[in-house]
Structure 1
Amino acid sequence: MDRIGQAEAFDAIGDQYDLAFPHKEGQVAGGAWLTGQLPAGARVLDLGCGTGLPTARQLAEAGHLVTGVDLSEGMVALARENVPGGDFRVLDFADLEDQALGPFDGAAAFFSLLMLPREEIPYALRMLHGQLREGAPLALSMVEADLNDFSLPFLGRTIRVSGYLRDELRRVVRDAGFEIAGEDAYAYAPASTDVPPEIQLFMHCRRRP
Protein backbone atom coordinates (compact mmCIF):
# COMPACT_ATOMS: atom_id res chain seq x y z
CA MET A 1 0.00 0.00 0.00
CA ASP A 2 1.21 3.52 -0.85
CA ARG A 3 0.92 5.45 2.42
CA ILE A 4 2.44 8.73 1.23
CA GLY A 5 -0.98 10.38 1.05
CA GLN A 6 -1.80 9.27 4.58
CA ALA A 7 1.45 10.72 5.92
CA GLU A 8 0.97 13.99 4.06
CA ALA A 9 -2.53 14.35 5.48
CA PHE A 10 -1.29 13.98 9.05
CA ASP A 11 1.67 16.27 8.36
CA ALA A 12 -0.87 18.94 7.41
CA ILE A 13 -3.24 18.22 10.30
CA GLY A 14 -0.54 18.68 12.95
CA ASP A 15 -1.78 20.45 16.07
CA GLN A 16 -5.36 20.38 14.82
CA TYR A 17 -5.54 16.72 15.80
CA ASP A 18 -5.37 17.33 19.53
CA LEU A 19 -7.79 20.24 19.20
CA ALA A 20 -10.32 18.05 17.38
CA PHE A 21 -9.93 15.23 19.92
CA PRO A 22 -9.59 17.09 23.24
CA HIS A 23 -11.17 14.40 25.40
CA LYS A 24 -9.42 11.06 25.28
CA GLU A 25 -10.78 9.28 28.33
CA GLY A 26 -10.66 5.85 26.70
CA GLN A 27 -7.08 6.28 25.55
CA VAL A 28 -5.99 7.64 28.93
CA ALA A 29 -7.67 4.69 30.66
CA GLY A 30 -6.00 2.25 28.25
CA GLY A 31 -2.64 3.88 28.88
CA ALA A 32 -3.18 3.65 32.64
CA TRP A 33 -3.96 -0.07 32.31
CA LEU A 34 -0.81 -0.58 30.24
CA THR A 35 1.32 1.37 32.70
CA GLY A 36 0.00 -0.74 35.56
CA GLN A 37 1.00 -3.96 33.82
CA LEU A 38 4.62 -2.99 33.20
CA PRO A 39 7.73 -3.55 35.31
CA ALA A 40 9.63 -0.45 36.45
CA GLY A 41 11.61 1.22 33.69
CA ALA A 42 10.02 -0.90 30.97
CA ARG A 43 10.74 -0.48 27.27
CA VAL A 44 7.45 0.33 25.57
CA LEU A 45 6.55 0.72 21.91
CA ASP A 46 3.95 3.34 20.94
CA LEU A 47 2.86 2.30 17.46
CA GLY A 48 1.46 5.27 15.58
CA CYS A 49 2.45 7.67 18.34
CA GLY A 50 0.99 10.79 16.70
CA THR A 51 1.74 13.92 18.73
CA GLY A 52 2.84 11.87 21.73
CA LEU A 53 -0.27 12.94 23.63
CA PRO A 54 -1.52 11.48 25.78
CA THR A 55 0.03 8.02 25.62
CA ALA A 56 3.78 8.51 25.15
CA ARG A 57 3.79 11.28 27.75
CA GLN A 58 1.73 9.13 30.13
CA LEU A 59 4.21 6.27 29.82
CA ALA A 60 7.27 8.49 30.08
CA GLU A 61 5.93 10.22 33.20
CA ALA A 62 5.48 6.78 34.76
CA GLY A 63 9.21 6.18 34.31
CA HIS A 64 9.09 3.96 31.23
CA LEU A 65 11.35 4.16 28.18
CA VAL A 66 9.13 4.99 25.22
CA THR A 67 9.92 4.36 21.58
CA GLY A 68 7.30 5.98 19.36
CA VAL A 69 6.98 5.37 15.63
CA ASP A 70 4.78 7.17 13.15
CA LEU A 71 4.71 7.59 9.38
CA SER A 72 4.13 11.35 9.63
CA GLU A 73 7.22 13.53 10.03
CA GLY A 74 5.01 16.34 11.32
CA MET A 75 3.50 14.18 14.04
CA VAL A 76 6.91 12.86 15.08
CA ALA A 77 8.24 16.42 15.35
CA LEU A 78 5.35 17.31 17.67
CA ALA A 79 5.90 14.15 19.73
CA ARG A 80 9.55 15.09 20.25
CA GLU A 81 8.45 18.50 21.53
CA ASN A 82 5.70 17.10 23.75
CA VAL A 83 7.71 14.22 25.22
CA PRO A 84 11.39 15.24 25.24
CA GLY A 85 12.47 12.04 26.99
CA GLY A 86 11.02 9.73 24.34
CA ASP A 87 12.68 8.16 21.32
CA PHE A 88 10.53 9.01 18.29
CA ARG A 89 11.14 7.82 14.75
CA VAL A 90 9.55 8.32 11.34
CA LEU A 91 8.88 4.72 10.41
CA ASP A 92 6.37 2.64 8.48
CA PHE A 93 4.83 -0.27 10.40
CA ALA A 94 6.01 -2.58 7.63
CA ASP A 95 9.66 -1.64 8.25
CA LEU A 96 9.59 -2.05 12.02
CA GLU A 97 10.93 -5.61 11.95
CA ASP A 98 14.02 -4.46 10.06
CA GLN A 99 15.02 -1.90 12.70
CA ALA A 100 15.95 -4.33 15.51
CA LEU A 101 14.29 -2.12 18.11
CA GLY A 102 12.73 -4.88 20.20
CA PRO A 103 11.99 -6.85 22.16
CA PHE A 104 9.68 -4.56 24.13
CA ASP A 105 8.07 -5.12 27.51
CA GLY A 106 4.75 -3.74 26.28
CA ALA A 107 3.11 -1.76 23.50
CA ALA A 108 0.31 0.65 22.68
CA ALA A 109 -1.47 0.83 19.34
CA PHE A 110 -4.18 3.44 19.73
CA PHE A 111 -6.07 4.16 16.48
CA SER A 112 -3.03 3.29 14.37
CA LEU A 113 -4.09 -0.03 12.85
CA LEU A 114 -7.24 1.56 11.44
CA MET A 115 -5.04 3.47 9.00
CA LEU A 116 -4.26 0.19 7.20
CA PRO A 117 -6.32 -1.80 4.71
CA ARG A 118 -7.90 -4.83 6.35
CA GLU A 119 -5.62 -7.25 4.55
CA GLU A 120 -2.59 -5.62 6.24
CA ILE A 121 -3.96 -5.47 9.80
CA PRO A 122 -3.35 -9.17 10.66
CA TYR A 123 0.20 -8.83 9.33
CA ALA A 124 0.76 -5.71 11.46
CA LEU A 125 -0.52 -7.51 14.56
CA ARG A 126 1.74 -10.51 13.93
CA MET A 127 4.66 -8.13 13.44
CA LEU A 128 3.77 -6.50 16.75
CA HIS A 129 3.60 -9.93 18.38
CA GLY A 130 7.16 -10.53 17.24
CA GLN A 131 8.35 -7.28 18.84
CA LEU A 132 7.05 -8.16 22.32
CA ARG A 133 8.34 -10.40 25.07
CA GLU A 134 6.17 -13.37 26.01
CA GLY A 135 3.32 -12.26 28.25
CA ALA A 136 3.85 -8.58 27.44
CA PRO A 137 0.76 -6.33 27.59
CA LEU A 138 -0.67 -4.62 24.52
CA ALA A 139 -3.25 -1.83 24.70
CA LEU A 140 -4.97 -1.22 21.39
CA SER A 141 -7.98 0.61 20.07
CA MET A 142 -10.01 0.75 16.89
CA VAL A 143 -13.18 2.48 15.80
CA GLU A 144 -16.04 -0.01 15.50
CA ALA A 145 -17.07 0.08 11.84
CA ASP A 146 -17.47 -2.38 8.98
CA LEU A 147 -15.05 -0.55 6.67
CA ASN A 148 -12.08 -1.42 4.50
CA ASP A 149 -9.74 1.30 3.21
CA PHE A 150 -12.64 3.76 3.17
CA SER A 151 -11.93 7.41 2.23
CA LEU A 152 -13.43 10.07 4.47
CA PRO A 153 -12.88 13.78 5.13
CA PHE A 154 -10.84 14.49 8.23
CA LEU A 155 -9.91 18.00 9.40
CA GLY A 156 -9.82 19.39 5.90
CA ARG A 157 -7.97 16.42 4.41
CA THR A 158 -8.93 13.00 3.14
CA ILE A 159 -7.71 9.89 4.91
CA ARG A 160 -8.43 6.19 4.40
CA VAL A 161 -9.54 4.04 7.30
CA SER A 162 -10.57 0.47 8.06
CA GLY A 163 -12.50 -1.04 10.92
CA TYR A 164 -14.22 -4.14 12.25
CA LEU A 165 -17.31 -4.95 14.21
CA ARG A 166 -16.19 -6.09 17.63
CA ASP A 167 -16.62 -9.86 17.21
CA GLU A 168 -14.46 -9.79 14.10
CA LEU A 169 -11.87 -7.59 15.80
CA ARG A 170 -11.65 -10.08 18.65
CA ARG A 171 -11.02 -12.89 16.17
CA VAL A 172 -8.31 -10.96 14.31
CA VAL A 173 -6.52 -10.07 17.55
CA ARG A 174 -6.65 -13.62 18.90
CA ASP A 175 -5.53 -15.12 15.59
CA ALA A 176 -2.43 -12.88 15.73
CA GLY A 177 -1.35 -14.50 19.02
CA PHE A 178 -2.87 -12.31 21.71
CA GLU A 179 -5.29 -13.11 24.51
CA ILE A 180 -7.84 -10.43 25.37
CA ALA A 181 -7.85 -9.67 29.09
CA GLY A 182 -10.45 -6.89 29.00
CA GLU A 183 -12.43 -4.52 26.80
CA ASP A 184 -14.04 -1.09 26.97
CA ALA A 185 -16.21 0.81 24.52
CA TYR A 186 -16.78 4.56 24.40
CA ALA A 187 -19.20 6.65 22.35
CA TYR A 188 -17.18 9.60 21.11
CA ALA A 189 -18.17 12.81 19.34
CA PRO A 190 -15.08 14.72 18.15
CA ALA A 191 -15.01 18.52 18.46
CA SER A 192 -15.31 18.93 14.70
CA THR A 193 -18.26 19.20 12.34
CA ASP A 194 -16.70 17.02 9.62
CA VAL A 195 -15.84 14.07 11.87
CA PRO A 196 -18.90 11.95 12.71
CA PRO A 197 -19.58 10.41 16.13
CA GLU A 198 -18.03 6.99 16.58
CA ILE A 199 -17.79 3.99 18.87
CA GLN A 200 -14.24 3.45 20.08
CA LEU A 201 -13.19 -0.05 21.13
CA PHE A 202 -10.31 -0.52 23.55
CA MET A 203 -8.75 -3.92 24.19
CA HIS A 204 -6.36 -4.97 26.94
CA CYS A 205 -4.30 -7.79 25.48
CA ARG A 206 -1.37 -9.99 26.35
CA ARG A 207 1.11 -11.71 24.05
CA ARG A 208 0.77 -15.47 23.98
CA PRO A 209 3.79 -17.69 23.21
Structure 2
Amino acid sequence: MGSDDERDVVRRGYDELSYHYRADDADDGQYAPWLAGLHRRLPAPAAVLDLGCGCGVPAARFLADAGHHVTGVDISDVQIERARRLVPTATFVRADATRLDLPPASFDAVVCLYAFIHMPLAGQPPLITSIARWLRPGGWLLATVGHSAWTGTEDDWLGGGAAMWWSHADASTYRSWLQQAGLTITAEDFIPEGTSGHTLFWAQRPHASDR
Protein backbone atom coordinates (compact mmCIF):
# COMPACT_ATOMS: atom_id res chain seq x y z
CA MET A 1 0.00 0.00 0.00
CA GLY A 2 1.00 3.58 -0.53
CA SER A 3 0.93 6.03 2.38
CA ASP A 4 -2.42 7.51 1.27
CA ASP A 5 -3.95 4.02 1.22
CA GLU A 6 -2.59 3.37 4.72
CA ARG A 7 -4.04 6.64 5.98
CA ASP A 8 -7.40 5.66 4.50
CA VAL A 9 -7.33 2.34 6.38
CA VAL A 10 -6.76 4.21 9.64
CA ARG A 11 -9.41 6.83 8.90
CA ARG A 12 -12.03 4.27 7.90
CA GLY A 13 -11.21 2.05 10.86
CA TYR A 14 -11.81 4.83 13.37
CA ASP A 15 -14.86 6.08 11.46
CA GLU A 16 -16.42 2.63 11.68
CA LEU A 17 -15.31 1.63 15.19
CA SER A 18 -15.18 4.97 17.02
CA TYR A 19 -17.76 3.95 19.64
CA HIS A 20 -16.38 0.42 19.81
CA TYR A 21 -12.94 1.86 20.59
CA ARG A 22 -14.06 4.28 23.32
CA ALA A 23 -17.48 5.13 24.76
CA ASP A 24 -18.66 8.69 25.43
CA ASP A 25 -18.50 8.10 29.18
CA ALA A 26 -15.10 6.35 29.26
CA ASP A 27 -13.00 7.26 32.28
CA ASP A 28 -9.45 8.61 32.11
CA GLY A 29 -7.97 5.16 32.81
CA GLN A 30 -4.22 4.86 32.34
CA TYR A 31 -4.12 8.36 30.85
CA ALA A 32 -5.01 10.00 34.20
CA PRO A 33 -1.53 10.19 35.78
CA TRP A 34 0.05 11.26 32.49
CA LEU A 35 -2.44 14.09 32.00
CA ALA A 36 -2.22 15.16 35.64
CA GLY A 37 1.55 15.25 35.29
CA LEU A 38 1.29 17.41 32.20
CA HIS A 39 -1.15 19.77 33.90
CA ARG A 40 1.32 20.27 36.76
CA ARG A 41 4.03 21.23 34.28
CA LEU A 42 1.96 23.83 32.40
CA PRO A 43 1.21 27.50 32.94
CA ALA A 44 -2.42 28.38 33.59
CA PRO A 45 -3.97 28.53 31.12
CA ALA A 46 -1.82 26.85 28.50
CA ALA A 47 -2.25 26.28 24.76
CA VAL A 48 -2.22 22.52 24.11
CA LEU A 49 -2.24 20.64 20.80
CA ASP A 50 -3.70 17.12 20.96
CA LEU A 51 -2.58 15.17 17.88
CA GLY A 52 -4.71 12.10 17.23
CA CYS A 53 -7.28 13.43 19.68
CA GLY A 54 -9.87 10.79 18.83
CA CYS A 55 -13.29 11.53 20.30
CA GLY A 56 -11.74 14.04 22.72
CA VAL A 57 -11.90 11.60 25.63
CA PRO A 58 -9.91 11.52 27.79
CA ALA A 59 -7.02 13.85 26.92
CA ALA A 60 -8.76 16.89 25.42
CA ARG A 61 -11.58 16.65 27.97
CA PHE A 62 -9.19 16.45 30.94
CA LEU A 63 -7.06 19.37 29.76
CA ALA A 64 -10.02 21.56 28.76
CA ASP A 65 -11.70 20.89 32.11
CA ALA A 66 -8.43 21.95 33.77
CA GLY A 67 -8.76 25.34 32.06
CA HIS A 68 -6.36 24.93 29.15
CA HIS A 69 -6.99 26.03 25.56
CA VAL A 70 -7.01 22.76 23.61
CA THR A 71 -6.81 22.23 19.86
CA GLY A 72 -7.46 18.65 18.81
CA VAL A 73 -6.56 17.14 15.45
CA ASP A 74 -7.70 13.77 14.12
CA ILE A 75 -7.94 12.09 10.71
CA SER A 76 -11.40 10.59 11.40
CA ASP A 77 -14.54 12.60 10.67
CA VAL A 78 -16.56 10.56 13.17
CA GLN A 79 -14.01 11.08 15.93
CA ILE A 80 -13.93 14.83 15.32
CA GLU A 81 -17.74 15.08 15.30
CA ARG A 82 -17.85 13.28 18.65
CA ALA A 83 -15.04 15.40 20.09
CA ARG A 84 -16.88 18.62 19.24
CA ARG A 85 -19.91 17.32 21.08
CA LEU A 86 -18.09 15.83 24.07
CA VAL A 87 -15.61 18.69 24.63
CA PRO A 88 -17.41 21.82 23.43
CA THR A 89 -14.87 24.22 24.98
CA ALA A 90 -12.03 22.90 22.81
CA THR A 91 -11.34 23.41 19.09
CA PHE A 92 -11.19 20.38 16.81
CA VAL A 93 -9.86 20.05 13.27
CA ARG A 94 -10.18 17.09 10.90
CA ALA A 95 -6.72 16.81 9.38
CA ASP A 96 -3.72 14.56 8.83
CA ALA A 97 -1.23 15.40 11.57
CA THR A 98 1.74 14.78 9.27
CA ARG A 99 0.49 17.48 6.90
CA LEU A 100 -0.24 20.24 9.39
CA ASP A 101 1.24 23.71 8.95
CA LEU A 102 1.08 25.62 12.23
CA PRO A 103 2.82 28.78 13.50
CA PRO A 104 6.12 28.36 15.33
CA ALA A 105 6.12 28.60 19.13
CA SER A 106 2.32 28.50 19.35
CA PHE A 107 1.81 25.76 21.97
CA ASP A 108 2.90 25.14 25.54
CA ALA A 109 2.42 21.40 25.06
CA VAL A 110 1.75 18.80 22.41
CA VAL A 111 0.04 15.53 23.33
CA CYS A 112 0.24 12.56 20.94
CA LEU A 113 -1.06 9.40 22.61
CA TYR A 114 -1.33 6.20 20.54
CA ALA A 115 -1.33 8.23 17.31
CA PHE A 116 2.24 8.12 15.98
CA ILE A 117 1.80 4.36 15.63
CA HIS A 118 -0.89 4.90 12.96
CA MET A 119 1.22 7.25 10.81
CA PRO A 120 3.45 6.31 7.86
CA LEU A 121 6.93 5.82 9.26
CA ALA A 122 8.58 8.20 6.79
CA GLY A 123 6.35 11.01 8.01
CA GLN A 124 7.10 10.57 11.69
CA PRO A 125 10.57 12.20 11.96
CA PRO A 126 9.43 15.34 10.07
CA LEU A 127 6.38 15.55 12.35
CA ILE A 128 8.59 15.37 15.44
CA THR A 129 10.70 18.18 13.96
CA SER A 130 7.52 20.19 13.38
CA ILE A 131 6.33 19.55 16.94
CA ALA A 132 9.63 20.90 18.28
CA ARG A 133 9.07 24.02 16.18
CA TRP A 134 5.43 24.44 17.30
CA LEU A 135 6.41 24.26 20.97
CA ARG A 136 7.31 27.39 22.88
CA PRO A 137 10.63 27.37 24.73
CA GLY A 138 10.08 25.22 27.80
CA GLY A 139 7.08 23.53 26.16
CA TRP A 140 6.37 19.83 26.60
CA LEU A 141 5.73 16.84 24.36
CA LEU A 142 3.89 13.91 25.93
CA ALA A 143 3.82 11.00 23.48
CA THR A 144 3.39 7.26 23.26
CA VAL A 145 5.29 5.57 20.46
CA GLY A 146 6.37 2.07 19.51
CA HIS A 147 8.57 -0.02 21.76
CA SER A 148 9.58 -2.59 19.12
CA ALA A 149 9.59 -1.90 15.38
CA TRP A 150 6.59 -3.28 13.52
CA THR A 151 4.36 -2.50 10.55
CA GLY A 152 1.20 -4.43 9.77
CA THR A 153 -2.55 -4.61 9.29
CA GLU A 154 -5.30 -6.35 11.23
CA ASP A 155 -8.39 -7.22 9.17
CA ASP A 156 -10.83 -7.56 12.07
CA TRP A 157 -9.68 -4.89 14.51
CA LEU A 158 -11.23 -5.16 17.98
CA GLY A 159 -13.54 -7.83 16.56
CA GLY A 160 -15.56 -5.08 14.91
CA GLY A 161 -15.16 -6.08 11.27
CA ALA A 162 -12.99 -3.13 10.18
CA ALA A 163 -9.31 -3.13 9.24
CA MET A 164 -6.61 -1.16 11.04
CA TRP A 165 -2.99 -0.38 10.17
CA TRP A 166 0.05 0.41 12.31
CA SER A 167 3.66 1.39 11.67
CA HIS A 168 6.25 2.22 14.29
CA ALA A 169 9.97 2.16 14.94
CA ASP A 170 11.58 0.95 18.16
CA ALA A 171 12.11 3.04 21.27
CA SER A 172 15.79 3.79 20.58
CA THR A 173 14.91 5.16 17.14
CA TYR A 174 12.26 7.46 18.60
CA ARG A 175 14.76 8.56 21.23
CA SER A 176 17.16 9.52 18.45
CA TRP A 177 14.46 11.35 16.46
CA LEU A 178 13.41 13.38 19.51
CA GLN A 179 16.98 14.38 20.25
CA GLN A 180 17.70 15.24 16.61
CA ALA A 181 14.69 17.57 16.68
CA GLY A 182 16.32 19.44 19.56
CA LEU A 183 14.06 18.12 22.31
CA THR A 184 15.37 17.10 25.72
CA ILE A 185 14.00 13.75 26.93
CA THR A 186 13.24 13.98 30.64
CA ALA A 187 11.54 10.60 31.16
CA GLU A 188 10.92 7.35 29.30
CA ASP A 189 8.65 4.51 30.44
CA PHE A 190 7.53 1.18 29.05
CA ILE A 191 3.72 0.82 28.93
CA PRO A 192 2.82 -2.87 28.67
CA GLU A 193 -0.02 -4.02 26.44
CA GLY A 194 -0.71 -7.68 25.77
CA THR A 195 2.51 -9.46 24.88
CA SER A 196 4.32 -6.23 23.99
CA GLY A 197 3.69 -2.56 24.71
CA HIS A 198 4.52 1.04 23.93
CA THR A 199 7.02 3.64 25.07
CA LEU A 200 5.93 6.83 26.82
CA PHE A 201 8.21 9.84 26.38
CA TRP A 202 8.28 13.16 28.18
CA ALA A 203 10.35 15.63 26.15
CA GLN A 204 10.86 19.37 26.46
CA ARG A 205 11.92 22.13 24.12
CA PRO A 206 14.84 23.79 25.92
CA HIS A 207 14.70 27.40 27.02
CA ALA A 208 17.09 29.65 25.13
CA SER A 209 19.22 29.87 28.28
CA ASP A 210 19.58 26.06 28.32
CA ARG A 211 21.13 25.83 24.88
Same fold (TM over 0.5): yes
- 1:78-89 mapped onto 2 (5 Å cutoff): 78-89=82-93
Q: Secondary structure at the match of 1:84?
A: coil
Per the alignment, residue 164 of structure 1 pairs with 169
Per the alignment, residue 109 of structure 1 pairs with 112
Q: Which deviates the most, 71-80 or 28-37?
A: 28-37
Matched, 1:176 2:186: no
TM-score of the pair, normalised by structure 1: 0.86
- Structure-1 separation of matches of 2:196 and 2:58: 19
Indicate conservation of the 8 Å contact 1:134/1:207, yes or no.
yes
The AA in structure 2 aligned to 1:147 is W
Which of structures 1 and 2 has the larger relative contact order (alpha carbons within 8 angstroms, sep 6+)? Answer: 1
Indicate conservation of the 8 Å contact 1:26/1:202, yes or no.
no
Q: What's the Cα RMSD here?
A: 2.0
Please, which runs of 5 or more residues in structure 1 have no aligned partner? 190-196
Please, which runs of 5 or more residues in structure 2 have no aligned partner? none
Per the alignment, residue 123 of structure 1 pairs with 126
Q: CA deviation at 1:38?
A: 0.7
The AA in structure 1 aligned to 2:95 is L
Matched, 1:62 2:66: yes
Indicate conservation of the 8 Å contact 2:98/2:124, yes or no.
no
| Cα separation, partners in 2 of 1:101 and 1:7, compared to 1, 3 Å | farther
Q: CA deviation at 1:201?
A: 1.5
Q: Identity of counterpart residues, as a percentage?
A: 29
| Cα separation, partners in 2 of 1:168 and 1:26, compared to 1, 3 Å | farther
Q: Which of the numbers 25, 37, 41 marks the counterpart of 2:41?
A: 37
Q: CA deviation at 1:23?
A: 7.5
Per the alignment, residue 21 of structure 2 pairs with 17
* CA displacement 1:57-98 (0-9 Å, x = unmatched): 11011110100000101001111122111101101113321x
Q: Secondary structure at the match of 1:81?
A: helix
- Structure-2 separation of matches of 1:58 and 1:24: 8
The AA in structure 1 aligned to 2:94 is V
- Structure-1 separation of matches of 2:185 and 2:154: 30
Q: Which deviates the most, 42-51 or 170-179?
A: 170-179
Matched, 1:188 2:193: yes
- Structure-2 separation of matches of 1:64 and 1:77: 20
Q: Which of the numbers 196, 199, 202 marks the counterpart of 1:201?
A: 199
